Amino acid sequence: MKIERAEISACRYELKRALDTSRTRVSERRGYALELIDEDGRIGRGESLPLPVAGTEDLEETGRALREVTARLPGREGELAELLDWVDEWAPATPAARFALDSALHDLEAQRRALPLARLLAAHPSGSVSVNEVLGLGDPQRTAEAAAAAVARGYRTLKLKIGAVPPEVDADLLARVRGAVPRAVALRLDANGAWSVRDALVALERLSEFDVELVEQPVPARDLAGLRHVAERSPIPVAADEALAHEAGREALLGGELAPVAILKPMVLGGVRASARLAAASGVRCVVTTTFEGPVGVAAALHLAAAVGDRELAHGLAASDALVADFPAQLAPTSGSLSLPRGPGLMGTAPG
């Protein structure tokens, strides 16, 4: 593969409804779109939308890294692994920038080999992926109504943001949501690191009566010992999320000393290759999720989920429900799932 040209442009997406979590409010996503053009005129696409609260660099650092790397890319050639290694060396501390470059290079290689991108990551990827709907913090009754509406659209897993209010308020929220949807619908919780170890165990004991599937990141990202302690004692299965943005967290996961489930965010982990390697080496159940990316970022995450994601768990890929963006029909969930594009490359077509 030889890169002839690289083009960067700014991009911005608004959320249809601002998403409140225990740590922040997200109302828009800003970043960069990337195109890499090879010697045969193929276009590989990537997207970089940094989110520092999730563990990435900031927007200024992303832009600087992308400009620095793409200025050196034209004329560079090599196998996919060689080019990805080179990118990792030039942008080691900017995972969001690496995600765009990683996606574009994978896209070019998949087009060159006339394969869906997922086939570069796994011999037998899943043909479809279950996805979850995300319900942010808000009035319990309105959240229950939104939950019922999501189930009517075909979702079978609902993810609830919790932890910003007292446990009794969270309990009221879950009671109302559980009462509004069938028991077969899975409820997943995301505390975004809101609790201390003690508070997490107390809250999770109380919330376990609502038949919760799992809880993501109940304690702060840097408290690895605390996360392991909660995971070992919680009545609800625990997943590591923000902890994986840090090298120490990834090492703890690989050592079997963190949690039984990992939330893989390729924007935060530096690309689909890094995410797939972490999934393979850790041996834990993996859920793939975006940080609310546009169509290109979601497509990359979908291929990753099809390749390495747990097939019994839903994945966080329903960004088309949340963002004002021109998503192709194949990236809009149908009956709570997304189908893997069958054509070559990232989007299932070979853009020219």
Dump pLDDT digits (tens) for 184-193: 999 999 999 9
Closest CA to 167 of 212, 137, 200, 128: 200
Closest CA to 158 of 184, 137, 185, 193: 185
The 3-class secondary structure across 216-259, one letter per residue, is: ECCCCCCCHHHHHHHHHHCCCCEEECHHHHCHHHHHHHHCCCCC
Could you tell me if 76 and 8 are in contact, meaning their C-beta atoms sit under 8 angstroms apart?
no
Q: What is the mean pLDDT of the segment spanning 321-344?
A: 94
Q: What confidence category does residue 96 fall into, taking pLDDT thresholds of 50, 70 and 90?
A: very high
- Supply the pLDDT for residue 136: 76
324 strand-pairing partners: 14
- Supply the pLDDT for residue 342: 87
Helix (H) or strand (E) holding 63: helix 59-72
Q: What is the pLDDT of residues 146-182, one digit of tens each?
A: 999 999 999 999 999 998 888 899 999 999 999 999 9
Q: What is the pLDDT of residues 211-238, one digit of tens each?
A: 999 999 999 999 999 999 999 999 999 9
46 strand-pairing partners: 34
Total Cβ atoms within 10 A of residue 85: 13
Which residue did the predictor score with more confidence, 137 or 183? 183
- Supply the pLDDT for residue 22: 63
Domains of the chain: 3-114 (3.30.390.10), 120-339 (3.20.20.120)
Q: What confidence category does residue 18 fall into, taking pLDDT thresholds of 50, 70 and 90?
A: confident
Q: What is the mean pLDDT of the segment spanning 313-332?
A: 95
Distance linking the first and last C-alpha atoms of the chain: 17
Q: What is the mean pLDDT of the segment spanning 107-113?
A: 98
The C-alpha atoms of residue 18 and residue 15 are separated, in whole angstroms, by 6
Query: For the whole model, what pTM was predicted?
Result: 0.96
Above 80 in pLDDT, residue 24?
no
Single-letter code of the amino acid located at 33:
A
- Supply the pLDDT for residue 350: 42
- Supply the pLDDT for residue 349: 67
